[in-house]
Amino acid sequence: HDLEDLDMQTVRYKPEGLDTLCRATKFNRKELQLMYRGFKQECPSGVVNEETFKNIYSQFFPQGDSSRYAHFVFNSFDTDHNGSLTFEEFVSGLSILARGTVNEKLNWAFNLYDINGDGYITREEMLSVVQAIYDMMGKYSEPTAEDITPSEHVERVFQKMDVNGDGVVSIEEFIDCCKKDETITRSMHVFDTIL
C-alpha cells in the first residue's frame, strides 16, 4: 500500500493555465491543447530531458546525426538551465521559431550560437553549431560537404559578421548582418506555419 502511495506521488509537472500560455506565446487555445496532447504523449511526466528531446529530434532528421544540434536547441529552449524542458519552455521556444518576428528569431539564433552565454559568438562557437548542422543534414546539406567544409563556411560568415574585426561577433553585428543578407532573411520565414 505504501508503494502505491509513493507511486501516486511521482512528480508530475503541471503546466500553467491555457490563458496564461496564450498570452505568453503566439499560439491560440486549440493549438496549445493539440501541442500539449502530443507533448504529454511523448513526455508523460510533463517534462522532457535532453536525451528524450534528442530522440524526438532525430526522427525529423533521419539522414544525419542530429544529436549535437538538438543539444544546442535544447539548451536554447531550457531557459532556467535545469536540464529539462517544461511544456511552457517548449512552446515558448516553438512560438519564437514558428511565429516570432525577424528580430525575435535572430535573437534566438544568436543565443543558439552563443554557447557560453557571454553575449558574443566566437569562431569556435560558430564552428561547433555549423558542424552540428552539417552532421544533422548529412548528405543533403547545402552546399554539399564536398563543396565547402564547415570551417571554411564559418570563416566566410565570420569575416562578414565581425565588422569591427575584434575576433567576436556581437548581437548587434549578428542581427545587422543577417538583416542585410536576403538569403538569411528569407530563411527566417521557413518555420512560419500554422499548426
Q: Which residues of the chain have pLDDT under 70?
A: 1-16, 139-146, 189-195
| pLDDT of res. 45 | 86
φ and ψ at 54, to 5 degrees?
A: -60, -40
Q: What is the DSSP string of 38-101?
A: HHHHH-TTSEEEHHHHHHHHHTT-TTS--HHHHHHHHHHH-TT-SSEEEHHHHHHHHHHHHH--
- Whether 101-138+147-194 and 17-99 are alike in CATH topology: the answer is yes
Domains of the chain, by residue range, sit at 17-99, 101-138+147-194
Q: For domain 101-138+147-194, is the CATH number 1.10.3720.10?
A: no
Q: What is the pLDDT of residues 150-165, one digit of tens each?
A: 899 899 999 999 999 9
Cell numbers linked to 66: 542530429
Mean pLDDT (the chain, rounded): 85
Query: Which residues are 49's β-sheet partners?
Result: 84
pTM above 0.75, yes or no: yes
Q: What is the pLDDT of residues 110-122, one digit of tens each?
A: 999 999 999 999 9
Q: For domain 17-99, is the CATH number 1.10.238.10?
A: yes
Nearest partner of 63 among 134, 7, 117, 152, judged by Cα:
134
| pLDDT of res. 51 | 94
Instruction: Give the whole-number percent of the chain exceeding pLDDT 70.
Output: 84
